[in-house]
Amino acid sequence: MKLVPILVIGHGNFPSALINSASMLMGEREELYSLCLCEGDGLESFIQKTGELIASFDPSRPLLVFVDLQGGTPWNSVLGVNDPRVRLVTGVNLPMLLEALNLRDHCDDIDQLAACALETARASVIIKKFPI
C-alpha cells in the first residue's frame, strides 16, 4: 500500500512548524510536505506554486491537503488548482495532522482520511473552566 501524500499549506512558517512538531512526536514521516505562503506572495504566484507541488505527484494518487484558514490565499490557491485528486481540509491543527499520519499507515481511502481528520479536529478543541 502506498502512503497517501499529505500537504500542509498555510501562512508564514506555520506549515513547516506544524510538520516539525509532528516529527517530534512521531518521528520523521514519509510523503509529508509543506508549502509556506510568504509575505509578498500574490494569489496568482501562489496558485502556480501550489499547482506545481500538486502536479509533482503521480496523477493516479489521491492527495490530502490541509490548509490553515478557509478563505485565505492557501485555501484559494488549492481551489485555483482544482485537482479532483485533492481532498481539502481547513483549520489544520496538530491533533488532526497526527491522526491523519497515523491512520494513513493502515488506510489509503482519501475520503476516510479526510473525515477522520475533521472529526479529530472537532474533538480536540475544548474549553476547560478553572479551578478543576
pLDDT in tens, 88-104: 999 999 999 999 999 99
Confidence of residue 72 (pLDDT cuts 50, 70, 90): very high
- Model pTM score: 0.95
Is residue 5's pLDDT more than 80? yes
Whether 131 is in a domain gets the answer no
> What's the Cα-to-Cα distance from 89 to each of 2, 24, 76, 79, 81, rounded to whole Å?
21, 23, 12, 11, 15
Whether 36 is in a domain gets the answer yes
Whether 1 is in a domain gets the answer no
Q: Identify the CATH number of the domain in which residue 70 sits.
A: 3.40.50.510
> What's the Cα-to-Cα distance from 11 to each of 75, 77, 103, rounded to whole Å?
10, 12, 26
Q: What are phi and psi of 19, to 5 degrees?
A: -65, -40
Amino acid residing at 46: F
| In the chain, % of residues over pLDDT 90 | 98
How many residues can be counted in the chain?
A: 132
